[in-house]
Amino acid sequence: MQQAIAVLDSGVGGLTVVKEVMRQLPREKILYFGDTARTPYGPRSAEQVVAFTREIVDYLIQFEPKMIVIACNTATAVALDDITARVSVPVVGVIGPGARAALGRTRTNVVGVIGTEGTIRSGAYEAALNLLSEDGVKVISKACPGFVPLVEDGNFRSAHTHEIVEEALAPLRGTGMDSLILGCTHYPFLADTIAETMGPGVALISSADETAREIRTILERTGQLAAGDAEPLHQFFCSGDPAKFREIAQTWLGAQIRLTPVVWQVPHIGA
């Protein structure tokens, strides 16, 4: 039996990471869990987010994955160390990869970060950027709590979406940043609107590409890269409305999920 890479998120946002993993590692089986019944995680306490993340990992571990990817910035910020200590397989978060990607792009050493309230409040990106930067970096952070509900509703390009994005990002224009980290895996769904708002002088940084590279590096180092030419059968789980999840997943991933998603509601995970 092929061991899967287990990916978890507070909702559909982690599908942005899944899409990049499928592109870079097409032989790997993906096991995805979106906690759509309890999204968003951003306004919740760190204790709640850690508890929810533990529940999901405990559920996914029964499938014996070879790796766990916490594709949620809020959960990465507060639960990565906890989960790493609880399981015997490698655990990958999205904050370190996102910070590395931003530092590789910036020329002004002024980097913006937008994310949920929980992620911004944690200061995790500032800490990662300052740890990784050799020349020093100015970090401008802003919470954008209205973005996740838009994505979970599948509302990516409407006039209402543009209005919310424009209002949220107005304070970031003219600050000198040349790179903006999308510090929530939901936000790439809104990338076109965010790019229009920020203008061509600001590069948008999604952690998905760098996270997939880190996954490959770890699997190569441990000799666990999938072999053979068989197309993997991915599995998708959610704790909320499976119809809405399936619609968004199929729109975002396209033909790559033509054999799936097999979406399950998990009744023991509470609201």
pLDDT digits (tens, 9 = 90+) for 72-84: 999 999 999 999 9
Residues 69 and 15 reside in one and the same domain: yes
- Residues 6 or more apart whose Cβ sits within 8 Å of residue 200: none
Residues 10 and 81 reside in one and the same domain: yes
Sign of the CA dihedral running 209, 211, 217, 223: negative
> pLDDT digit string (tens) for 131-187?
999 888 999 999 999 999 999 999 988 999 999 999 999 999 999 999 999 999 999
| Beta strand ranges found along the chain (DSSP E) | 5-9, 30-34, 67-70, 91-92, 110-115, 138-143, 179-183, 203-205, 235-238
Helix, strand, or coil (residue 203): strand
Enclosing domain of residue 235: 5-93+209-257
**Mean predicted confidence (pLDDT) in 44-70:** 95
184 among known catalytic residues: yes
Q: With bands split at pLDDT 50, 70 and 90, how would you rate the model's confidence at 11?
A: very high
Query: How many domains is the chain built from?
Result: 2
Answer yes or no: pTM beyond 0.75.
yes
pLDDT attached to residue 136: 87
Are the CB atoms for 97 and 165 separated by under 8 Å?
no
pLDDT above 90 coverage of the chain, percent: 77
How many whole angstroms separate alpha carbon 48 and alpha carbon 44? 6
Residues 141 and 185 reside in one and the same domain: yes
pLDDT attached to residue 244: 87
**Mean predicted confidence (pLDDT) in 15-23:** 95
User: Does the pLDDT value for residue 25 go beyond 50?
Assistant: yes
User: Does the pLDDT value for residue 267 go beyond 90?
Assistant: no
- Residues 6 or more apart whose Cβ sits within 8 Å of residue 221: none
We report the CATH number of the domain holding residue 103 as 3.40.50.1860
Residues 142 and 218 reside in one and the same domain: no
User: Does the pLDDT value for residue 269 go beyond 70?
Assistant: no
Peptide bond into 90 cis (omega under 30): no
Residues 214 and 202 reside in one and the same domain: no
Strands 203-205 and 179-183, by their bridges, are parallel
72 among known catalytic residues: yes
pLDDT attached to residue 240: 84
Residues 102 and 201 reside in one and the same domain: yes
Residues 86 and 103 reside in one and the same domain: no
Residues 102 and 83 reside in one and the same domain: no
Eight-state DSSP code of residue 11? S
User: Does the pLDDT value for residue 259 go beyond 50?
Assistant: no
Within a domain: 215: yes
The single residue of 184, 204, 219, 269 carrying the catalytic annotation is 184
DSSP bridge partners of 121: none
pLDDT attached to residue 233: 86
pLDDT attached to residue 255: 58
Sign of the CA dihedral running 74, 79, 84, 86: negative
Range with the poorest average pLDDT among 102-116, 144-158, 231-245: 231-245
Within a domain: 158: yes
The torsion defined by the Cα of 39, 32, 85 and 227, in degrees rounded to 10, comes to: -160
How many whole angstroms separate alpha carbon 185 and alpha carbon 19? 11
Reading the block at residue 66, the tokens are 């070879």
Encode 196-206: b = buried (16+ Cβ within 10 Å), e = exposed: ebbeeebbbbb
Within a domain: 60: yes
Strands 5-9 and 138-143, by their bridges, are unpaired
Reading the block at residue 180, the tokens are 């903006």
pLDDT attached to residue 230: 83
Within a domain: 263: no
**Mean predicted confidence (pLDDT) in 192-201:** 96
The single residue of 18, 60, 67, 72 carrying the catalytic annotation is 72
The distance of Cα 129 from the centroid of its chain, to the nearest Å, equals: 18
Residues 110 and 163 reside in one and the same domain: yes
